[in-house]
């Protein structure tokens, strides 16, 4: 139906130009709030009436007449009604809605995707300190980041996934000291146990492997322990490598992959932090006060100036962030999205201020809103009607691995994407395990599996007939239904798909490309989960209303084509979320 929309959009633009030259750019189709009012709505008459000094309803009637008389209008529209003060309610012919079935089956996995346009995007997400297991907040961030990357990929962007490791600073020293204490036999609760030490059982696991002189290998490093409890530097390097490996395993279980791991420590060893500080000082937006170096971030809209270098000579944490984002810009990423917890809200203004000061000094032309941020709230976990707050392994929080083991990777991904990022989310473990329609991921996956069952029945019972008609169908774990060629899809007669349930399903399929575009623009992968639930519900309603495997061969082919297209869009949407499309359940 994309071609239908393009044809009618061009006709609407021409009609608007006819009544008001230069107004063609106002051509828009909206979805009526009440479905019975029509398929699309146009509000342009009310927008143009006042500047033209015209009655909006009369203007709407003129637009209606021009649209209906156009070639596209005659081909695709059954009626246009002028309602209220000048609304145009468009009703599409059944054959217009049926085009989406051909479009889906001709494109399969590419349906809704835009061609590459050559622009680069870097998305930084998870970026957990290597001081412990990944918690459920990291899981929400991983699900968000991966889905947003997939959304931008559908819109033609060249997407780069990056994990920033804070492998320097106080928290790493605390990790080393905590591990050293465990290696010496000191445990939480003992008088010698440091007050700020990490208490989880994973610290004891690291210490045990350190004493055993184990070798651990992560994605970017391999390290062998010395076993010497007095060698704090060796303990530090081993503990970081150990937790890097553990986090890699967590991410692998969640099926999240990164293109690059960027180490905070490299910003110091490569001299980037010192160069960034020198650039800020040269820019004239810094000053010395009380033995500290300050950034005059109020020059760039911050509510107060920020300390860059404390009186003890150490840099505050936003300084390496500025250096890191300068490196992103230098690598050619003119669009960057950072996905972080809401506790990072205070860093946004100071990082952007630092980038603007450096940009002016170096002539980099970094936009004022660079980088973009998506902040998410934490996740509460409910199990057995009670909130779960502590994991024995982590010591003080529920880990991502706990959640996957209690439910499944698919459930965790879908559930964590089911709400806007900035709204608090309660993860109900019992609901995620339920095999009923109350469980949203089960409900959507079951719709896909149900269609696959229908398609297997068609293939098993009419294989020779299907083959003779050049209509090959198959269902797989990855592509719901795939083996329809462009020629096969074109030969299916779809005119019998004129019932209200069938047309409702086709209209919803047609909304998929626009939904992707809007969800990408809004950084809103939860829109995909909402759409998939609506599509599953619409399919279940259609299945209950109309028998698919009827005796009439043409009618059966048309209905099979419709549900096959539905399965494909369900599969495409689930894949975007990183969720499987099972063929049986």
Q: With H, G, I as helix, E, B as strand and everything else as coil, classify residue 295.
A: strand
What is the rounded CA–CA span in Å between residue 143 and residue 155?
19
Helix (H) or strand (E) holding 309: strand 306-309
More confident position, 509 or 129? 509
What is the rounded CA–CA span in Å between residue 146 and residue 10?
36
Residues 371, 220 contacting (CB under 8 angstroms):
no
Q: With H, G, I as helix, E, B as strand and everything else as coil, classify residue 293.
A: strand
Q: Is the pLDDT confidence value at 271 over 90?
A: yes
Output the six-digit token pair for 261: 């791991």
What is the rounded CA–CA span in Å between residue 297 and residue 305?
5
**Predicted pLDDT of residue 392:** 53
pLDDT classification of 2: cutoffs 50, 70, 90:
confident
Q: What is the mean pLDDT of the chain?
A: 91
Q: Is the pLDDT confidence value at 390 over 90?
A: no
Burial tier of 281 (Cβ tally within 10 Å: 0-12, 13-18, 19+): middle
Q: What is the dihedral of CA 260, 263, 268, 270, to 10 degrees?
A: -30
DSSP result, 394-407: TSSS-BHHHHHHHS
* Average pLDDT of span 220-245: 94
**Predicted pLDDT of residue 484:** 46
* Average pLDDT of span 228-241: 96
* Average pLDDT of span 347-354: 96
Q: Is the pLDDT confidence value at 443 over 70?
A: yes
pLDDT classification of 534: cutoffs 50, 70, 90:
very high
Output the six-digit token pair for 133: 């297991």
* Average pLDDT of span 11-35: 89
CA neighbor of 254 nearest in space, from 418, 157, 141, 162: 141
Q: Is the pLDDT confidence value at 167 over 90?
A: no
pLDDT, tens only, 447-460: 999 999 998 887 66
Q: Is the pLDDT confidence value at 482 over 80?
A: no
3-state secondary structure 502-536: HHHHHHHHHCHHHHHHHHHHCCCCHHHHHHHHHHH
Q: Considering only 30-39, 54-63, 122-131, 519-528, which range has the smallest mean pLDDT?
A: 30-39
pLDDT, tens only, 168-186: 878 899 999 999 999 999 9
Q: Is the pLDDT confidence value at 51 over 50?
A: yes
Quick one: how far is CA 378 from the chain centroid? 17
What is the rounded CA–CA span in Å between residue 171 and residue 333?
29
In DSSP terms, 381 is beta-bridged to 388, 427
**Predicted pLDDT of residue 471:** 41
- Please say whether the structural domain 438-577 has been given the CATH code 1.10.730.10: yes
Residues 80, 43 contacting (CB under 8 angstroms):
no
* Comma-separated ranges of CATH 3.30.1360.70 domains in the chain: 2-92
Q: Is the pLDDT confidence value at 421 over 60?
A: yes
Q: Is the pLDDT confidence value at 478 over 70?
A: no
pTM for the whole structure? 0.90
* Comma-separated ranges of CATH 1.10.730.10 domains in the chain: 438-577
**Which class in CATH covers the domain with range 2-92?**
alpha beta
**Predicted pLDDT of residue 469:** 40
Burial tier of 377 (Cβ tally within 10 Å: 0-12, 13-18, 19+): middle
Output the six-digit token pair for 283: 């820019």
In DSSP terms, 158 is beta-bridged to 120
**Predicted pLDDT of residue 394:** 58
Burial tier of 77 (Cβ tally within 10 Å: 0-12, 13-18, 19+): buried
Q: Considering only 17-26, 136-145, 263-272, 574-583, which range has the smallest mean pLDDT?
A: 17-26
What is the rounded CA–CA span in Å between residue 176 and residue 168?
12
Output the six-digit token pair for 37: 């009012």
User: Which residues are within 8 A (CB) of 571 and not within 5 positions of it... i.e. 6 or more apart?
Assistant: 109, 448, 478, 479, 480, 581
**Predicted pLDDT of residue 479:** 40
Query: For 418-478, where are the alpha helices, taking DSSP H only?
Result: 429-433, 440-461, 463-468
């Amino acid at each position: 139906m994309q071609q239908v929309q393009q044809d009618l959009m061009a006709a609407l633009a021409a009609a608007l130009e006819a009544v008001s030259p230069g107004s063609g750019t106002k051509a828009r189709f909206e979805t009526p709030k009440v479905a019975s009012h029509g398929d699309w709505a146009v509000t342009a008459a009310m927008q143009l009436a006042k500047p033209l000094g015209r009655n909006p309803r009369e203007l709407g009637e003129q637009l209606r007449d021009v649209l209906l008389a156009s070639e596209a209008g005659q081909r695709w529209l059954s009626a246009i009604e002028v309602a209220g003060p000048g609304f145009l309610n468009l009703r599409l012919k059944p054959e217009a809605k049926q085009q989406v079935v051909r479009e889906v089956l001709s494109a399969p996995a590419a349906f809704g995707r835009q061609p590459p346009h050559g622009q680069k995007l870097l998305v930084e997400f998870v970026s957990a300190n290597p001081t412990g297991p990944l918690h459920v907040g990291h899981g929400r961030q991983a699900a968000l980041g991966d889905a947003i990357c997939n959304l931008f990929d559908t819109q033609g962007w060249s997407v780069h996934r990056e994990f920033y490791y804070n492998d320097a600073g106080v928290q790493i020293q605390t990790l080393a000291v905590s591990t050293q204490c465990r290696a010496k036999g000191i445990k939480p609760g003992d008088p010698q146990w440091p007050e700020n030490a990490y208490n989880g059982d994973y610290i004891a696991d690291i210490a045990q492997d350190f004493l055993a002189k184990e070798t651990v290998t992560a994605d970017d490093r391999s390290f062998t322990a010395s076993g010497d409890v007095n060698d704090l530097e060796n303990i530090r390097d081993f503990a970081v490598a150990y937790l890097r490996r553990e986090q890699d395993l967590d991410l692998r279980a969640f099926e999240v992959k990164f293109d690059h791991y960027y180490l905070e420590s490299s910003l110091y060893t490569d001299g980037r932090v010192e160069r960034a500080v020198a650039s800020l000082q040269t820019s004239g937006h810094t000053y010395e006060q009380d033995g500290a170096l300050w950034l005059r971030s109020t020059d760039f809209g911050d509510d107060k100036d920020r300390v860059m270098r404390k009186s003890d000579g150490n840099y505050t944490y936003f300084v390496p962030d500025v250096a890191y984002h300068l490196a992103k810009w230098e690598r050619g990423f003119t669009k960057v999205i950072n996905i972080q917890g809401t506790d990072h809200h205070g860093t946004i203004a100071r990082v952007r201020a630092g980038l603007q000061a450096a940009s002016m000094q170096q002539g980099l032309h970094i936009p004022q809103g660079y980088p973009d941020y998506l902040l998410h709230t934490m996740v509460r976990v409910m199990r057995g009607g009670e909130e779960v707050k502590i994991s024995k392994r982590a010591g003080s929080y529920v880990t991502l691995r706990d959640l996957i083991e209690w439910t499944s990777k698919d459930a965790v991904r879908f559930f964590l994407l089911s709400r806007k990022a900035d709204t608090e989310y309660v993860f109900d473990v019992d609901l995620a395990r339920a095999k009923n329609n109350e469980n949203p991921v089960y409900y959507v996956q079951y719709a896909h599996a149900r269609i696959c069952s229908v398609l297997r029945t068609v293939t098993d019972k009419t294989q020779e007939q299907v083959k003779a008609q050049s209509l090959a169908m198959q269902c797989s774990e990855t592509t719901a239904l795939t083996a329809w060629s462009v020629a096969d899809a074109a030969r299916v007669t779809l005119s019998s798909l004129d019932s209200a349930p069938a047309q409702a399903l086709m209209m919803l399929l047609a909304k998929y490309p626009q939904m992707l575009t809007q969800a990408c623009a809004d950084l809103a992968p939860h829109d995909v989960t909402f759409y998939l639930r609506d599509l599953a519900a619409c399919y279940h309603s259609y299945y209950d209303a109309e028998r698919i495997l009827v005796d009439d061969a043409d009618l059966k082919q048309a209905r099979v084509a419709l549900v096959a297209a539905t399965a494909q869009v369900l599969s495409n949407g689930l894949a975007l979320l990183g969720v499987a499309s099972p063929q049986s359940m």
